[in-house]
A and B are shown apart, each in its own frame.
Chain A
Amino acid sequence: MSAINPSLALLDLLERRVRRRSSVFRRRASLIVGGGLLLAVIVVALAAPLVTSYNPDEIDPLHPLAAPLSAGHLFGTDSFGRDILARMLYGGRIDLLIAFGATSVTLVAGTAIGLLSGYVGGWIDATIMRIVDLVFAFPFFVLVIAIVAMLGPSVFNMFIAIWMTSWISYARITRGHTLAAKRQEYVLAAKALGYRGRRVMLRHILPNVLSFVVIFAMVDAVGNILLGAALGFLGLGAKPPSPEWGVMISDGQSYIFTAWWLSTIPGIAIVIVGVGFSLLGDGLADILRTGD
């Protein structure tokens, strides 16, 4: 749901003007805690086979719905007797892939488009911005569902739907800052030296614009994780028996009265990753903006 937050970036500036005094330690703290949380999740997801000996898809009909902390199963088992810890770890790979895969592609494409649009201007800019306005008019989630519906529900088609729709936020942010940078002396100087447009864009403007984009990407990653889980939950993204966290929550919903942990544990995992990205974004924002 990336369309939520370009406003936050702007409002943050407002907030920042008032909140200059927060201590250096607090600033670093959100960066360290956020980065730490994310890193921990990434490491255990990648090292899943070392952490658990269970196969996430292995069915054990004799031990269904075992409670957490029961013998051999730290997080218990689901209705098929599959080990939840193993499913969480392997499912984490899918959700992290969604966060990075969806976010990185739109980040690169959107930034490139915004840079070009803002720097070149003219009819190219006008055309691109009209497209951006249009896609912006749609409720993001609805448009993604509609595209997934047409292409057929699957994880890959979900990526396509996100790529098609969420580059617009990056394009908007980059274009805005590129327009501002174009009037700055360092860009005028680079142009006066006779550098070509490509060099000015990539070597001079991009590094100055990138921090805003990266900060937004952190918020966007939270949105993409939630989106991936929501689509899995609705049966429009990852499909059972995939251990994707949204699918696990959806599976656990039928056992909510008897086995609360089935949907609670993946819910907590999503919150941890989301808080990790949010804190990392806050921390980066503080450092990058007070740096200038």
Chain B
Amino acid sequence: MGRYSFLGNRILQMIPVLLGITVITFFLLRLIPGDPARQILGQHYTPKSGAELRRALGLDRPLWDQYGLFMRHLFHGSLGDSINYQQPTTTVISQRLPATLFLVVYSALLAAVIAIPVGVYSALRKGGIFDQVARVWFLVAFAMPAFRLGIILILIFPVHLHLFPVNGYGTGFTGHLRYLFLPALTIAVAFSTVLVRTLRASTLAVLATDYVDTARIKGISRFAVLRRHVVRNAIIPLVVVFGINLAFLVSTTVLIENVFGIPGLGRLLVDSVATRDYTVVQGTTLILAFFVVMVNLLTDVVHAALDPRVSAG
């Protein structure tokens, strides 16, 4: 199987998943107990406004019609109107999307910067002091609530050292880099606990292979063997694990945005729960799930590019 048909196949496989995501998010609104119109309108409920909202949401029609309507709107780029913001949900979401994207990419890069050296070095000095300390540290960090770690970092950097801002998003690229450093570090520490374990295991596996022995016997310097043979191969599983745990990364981002007051999708999601802005909750869930599926496709493509055996089937 060639590389392009591999890619084509993966895209085809995505279609039912994307459709399924729309079905699940569509049914989310059906979970509301009692009369959704009454719940959504809260104290603004009158028989008349209730009937209007029911008609607007299509609640007076058969279920399949409603799903058809939902999909028709989706294809026209509409996710309904936000009750709270008095704006189309897509507008609200697109205003919040950049902060979240920036934070996710930033955290992923920081996590890689933490995980790759620690993972590789732990494997090289397996059982040594560094390996032991790293093991204990990541055991603790894995059990540490990420939001608690965020609070500790706020206490250390902005409060005692006056180093980074406490909350917000900043302006401009460098502003974002500065404002989002602590939140990104918080997420990266949580995320790296998963990556380090993988990287240590895969480095150990690569170190045990014959080709590493061969390279050493050929007299290639230790560092060159490490860079050209070990790290290169050990990182491949990292790409896969990154894909698998992307949902975890996004989840942590949602949580941490709320700790640091970052105007992203996670903050929007939690705020919308409080204001019972159901269409925004539905829309945000849909967008974040789509995002995860898309990036997963990307990691598969990268994986195939790094390791030709994947697309060979």
Contact = CB atoms under 8 A, between A and B. Distances in A.
A139 B16 contact: no
Given A139-B288, A267-B145, A273-B143, A145 B254 contact: yes
Contacts of A17: 205
Interface in B206-239: 208, 237
A254 B86 CA distance: 32
B289 A139 contact: yes
B78 to A, nearest CB: 19
B114 interface: no
Contact of B194 (A8, A148, A151, A253): A8
A230 B143 CA distance: 12
Contact of B250 (A6, A139, A257, A263): A139
B8 interface: no
B125 to A, nearest CB: 14
A146 B198 CA distance: 30
A94 interface: no
B57 interface: no
A151 B285 CA distance: 15
Contacts of B23: 134
Interface string B288-304: 11001100100000000
Nearest to B240: A7
B159 A236 contact: no
B29 interface: yes
A163 interface: no
B91 to A, nearest CB: 20
Nearest to B247: A139
Contacts of B20: 130, 133-134, 137
A67 B210 CA distance: 60
Chain A interface bracket (under 10, 10 to 19, 20 to 34, 35 or more): 35 or more
Interface in B244-283: 244-245, 247-248, 250-252, 254-255, 258, 269-270, 272-274, 276, 278, 281-282
A15 B202 CA distance: 7
A249 B151 CA distance: 9
A140 B33 CA distance: 22
Give the one of A14, A135, A146, A256 with max B CB within 10 A: A146
B156 to A, nearest CB: 11
A19 B83 CA distance: 57
Contacts of A253: 151
A6 B285 CA distance: 23
Interface in A151-181: 151-153
B289 to A, nearest CB: 5
Given A11-B241, A142-B288, A253-B151, A3 B17 contact: no
Contact of A256 (B151, B197, B251): B151
B139 interface: yes
A244 to B, nearest CB: 12
A19 B204 contact: yes
A274 interface: yes
Given A4-B245, A130-B20, A137 B29 contact: no
Closest A-B pairs by Cβ, 9 of them: A274-B143, A141-B251, A15-B201, A134-B20, A150-B31, A149-B273, A139-B250, A267-B148, A139-B247
Interface of B: 16-17, 20-21, 23-25, 28-29, 31-33, 126, 139-140, 142-148, 151-152, 154-155, 159, 194, 197-198, 200-202, 204-205, 208, 237, 240-241, 244-245, 247-248, 250-252, 254-255, 258, 269-270, 272-274, 276, 278, 281-282, 284-285, 288-289, 292-293, 296
Interface of A: 1, 3-8, 11-12, 14-15, 17-19, 130, 133-143, 145-153, 222, 226, 229-230, 233-236, 246, 249, 253, 256-257, 260, 263, 267, 270-275, 277-279
28 contacts: A4-B194, A4-B245, A4-B248, A11-B202, A15-B201, A15-B204, A134-B23, A137-B247, A137-B293, A138-B292, A139-B251, A139-B288, A140-B251, A141-B252, A142-B284, A142-B289, A146-B282, A149-B273, A150-B31, A230-B145, A234-B270, A235-B274, A249-B145, A256-B155, A256-B159, A272-B143, A274-B142, A277-B143
Given A19-B204, A222-B142, A267-B144, 9 more contacts: A137-B293, A150-B31, A151-B31, A151-B32, A226-B145, A226-B146, A229-B145, A249-B148, A277-B143
